[in-house]
Structure 1
Amino acid sequence: MRIVVNKYLIGRHFVGIALWPFIVVKDSFLKEDEAFINHERIHIRQQAELLVLPFYLLYFTEYIIRLIQYRNSQLAYRNISFEREAYYNEDDLYYLKNRKLWSFTKYW
């Protein structure tokens, strides 16, 4: 997968995003942040498992549900199952080698 630096593509609240098959980062120094890149690679794997488009539909649907649940955008974002898996495992650089199919479902 290719890591692309584009300070204009990312909104003011995000420093990176996984847009299959790319990881887009706001600043080039983020390419060296192993945990950050691993977090985004976990999202790339999630997207591939769900054949990309269904990932985005589920992601945004779950975000809306969490937003209603928590009434706080940051809490809603952090509690999306895809994000919970990525944040929980971002420091484990071997996680993707051992990860089972559809592991994000453990975080629902």
Structure 2
Amino acid sequence: MILISKKIMPKGYQGITLYPFMILRDAKLKSNAVVMNHERIHLKQQKELLIIPFYLLYGFEFLIRLFQYKNWNTAYRNISFEREAYSNEKKLNYLKLRPPFSFRKYL
């Protein structure tokens, strides 16, 4: 389900996926194939990790990366889940070919 909300969206972000919702900053982003593919990659990650463990791992890895890089944005960009999504967001058939737990390659 896709929701549109500028209020929920952190500044500087276009979308966020909180299973089963994709929250987008602007309705026009629904037609942006790259943004939608990025968020669908996150949906797949969340499903394969049974949702709650995904968020625990995401948060834990973010804290490690924040300690490592001492910069919020750099830490966020280096979370394995984000690295997988950013690396493959332009490959619009990626989810059809993606092996399970592919985020591990980005740890």
User: TM tier, shorter chain?
Assistant: over 0.9
Show structure 1 runs of 5+ residues with no match. Answer: none
Equivalence for 1:86: 85
Whole-Å separation in 1 of the counterparts to 2:103 and 2:42: 10
- Kindly report which structure 2 residues correspond to 1:36-75, keeping only aligned pairs within 5 A, or say none: 36-75=35-74
Q: Which has the higher mean CA deviation after the structures are superposed, 44-53 or 13-22? A: 13-22
With structure 1 as the length reference, what TM-score do the two structures score? 0.95
CA distance, structure 2, for counterparts of residue 67 and residue 8 of structure 1: 25
| Percentage of pairs with the same residue | 53
The Cα RMSD (Å) is: 0.8
In structure 2, what residue type is equivalent to 1:93?
L
Counterpart in 1 of 2:16?
A: 17
CA offset digits 1:14-37 (Å, max 9, x no partner): 221011111110111111110011
Measure, in 2, the Cα distance between the counterparts of 1:12 and 1:79.
18
The count of residues paired between Structure 1 and Structure 2 equals 107
What is the CA–CA distance in structure 2 between the aligned matches of 1:105 and 1:75, rounded to whole Å? 19
TM-score by length of 2: 0.96
